[in-house]
A = this chain, B = another copy of it.
């Protein structure tokens, strides 16, 4: 037992489960000056995580513990949360599992007082991987969902919010059921579709596999994830997932119908493009809107090189480029996407240099 006073505001924190997520939380909190204690069924994991700076492998006096983070595989979460609530009477207890509703239902079904439990879900990595790849930066700018309830004291919810903020994460608050519907759609069903696609590659002969390009690799990358972990996640959220998969099956049936129908097939592909474009910019940031500056391309060899040179010499950041056609095929325009703050300047300079602009 250690009795060293805490240096941070959150601790002493106990992290149960020193895998990738638990060890990374320990490293982030330790780096922030919090006192972290690690517990793992595997002594090796705890020793490795501690060696990486994720915390101490002793255990604090239970009455002093202010926060317990349960970061075990999903199947062990309910039991660990219940034990932590009982063992640490002053502690707020949170977990990091990917599905929130079923954990909550099972906790409620025990009849225990769970008002000090506040579920959360840091959306990074995979809980099952060991601590070797852990990093205190794992959650920086990643989404961390916290699921407050009416029976939680506001200061208890705040302690879990503080955990997410201390790890550098972007905080999102949602009810457990809403969270589970969201991850069914944007995480669990895409995972299953990746597995479905990859499973079909098993019987493909090597001479065919050698034609595989980046596309199939991207689609099937997450299919290489741990089957045991994912079986637990999918099962815990199977009702929401089943609903979404029924939509997928309807669309697949529709695909069989339109496979030889140009208009229908193009509509299917276009809906896919529309869906892919709904995803916000990386890490959930809002996509920036660019402004187009459209310049006529003179019909002479070498003109484009001069045009590029003139744009480049202005030091504007060109975000995207495309060629547009005029009403006849003989006139072309270069459409340059730049930030709105740079667009006006670029237009003025290009006109000064003798280029013709098209009014957008």
What 1/0 mask marks residues of chain A from 46 to 63 whose CB sits below 8 Å from any chain B CB?
011011100001000000
Q: How far is the CA of A210 from the CA of B303 in the complex (A)?
A: 43
Query: Chain B: which residue is nearest A170 at the CB level?
Result: B210
Interface check A81, CB cutoff 8 A: no
Interface check A16, CB cutoff 8 A: no
The answer on a CB contact under 8 Å between A51 and B210 is no
The answer on a CB contact under 8 Å between B182 and A208 is yes
The answer on a CB contact under 8 Å between A193 and B193 is yes
Interface check A155, CB cutoff 8 A: no
The answer on a CB contact under 8 Å between B196 and A255 is yes
Query: Chain B: which residue is nearest A299 at the CB level?
Result: B47
- Among B216, B266, B272, B278, the residue within 8 A (CB) of A209 is B278
Q: Which B residues are in CB contact (< 8 Å) with A130?
A: 322-323
**Chain copies in complex:** 2
Q: How far is the CA of A220 from the CA of B330 in the complex (A)?
A: 36
The answer on a CB contact under 8 Å between B280 and A212 is yes
A211-B183, A247-B200 known; A235-B265 Cβ under 8 A: yes
A189, A197, A226, A259 — most chain B CB neighbours (10 Å): A197
Q: How far is the CA of A208 from the CA of B215 in the complex (A)?
A: 25
Q: How far is the CA of A300 from the CA of B57 in the complex (A)?
A: 10
A187-B211, A242-B259 known; A47-B301 Cβ under 8 A: yes
Q: Which B residues are in CB contact (< 8 Å) with A197?
A: 189-190, 193, 248, 272, 275
Q: How far is the CA of A143 from the CA of B268 in the complex (A)?
A: 29
What 1/0 mask marks residues of chain A from 261 to 296 whose CB sits below 8 Å from any chain B CB?
010011011111111111110101000000000000
The answer on a CB contact under 8 Å between A198 and B44 is no
The answer on a CB contact under 8 Å between A272 and B216 is no
Query: Chain B: which residue is nearest A277 at the CB level?
Result: B224
Interface check A228, CB cutoff 8 A: yes
The answer on a CB contact under 8 Å between A329 and B199 is no
Query: Chain B: which residue is nearest A192 at the CB level?
Result: B255
**Cβ of A358 to closest chain B Cβ, rounded Å:** 13
Q: Which B residues are in CB contact (< 8 Å) with A282?
A: 217
A195-B271, A207-B182, A265-B231 known; A42-B325 Cβ under 8 A: yes
- Can you list 11 A-B contacts (CB < 8 A)? A47-B332, A131-B323, A132-B321, A172-B210, A185-B200, A196-B251, A200-B275, A209-B279, A230-B269, A235-B259, A245-B252
The 9 closest A-B pairs by CB, nearest first: A195-B272, A44-B332, A198-B275, A227-B269, A182-B208, A223-B272, A201-B275, A51-B304, A199-B271
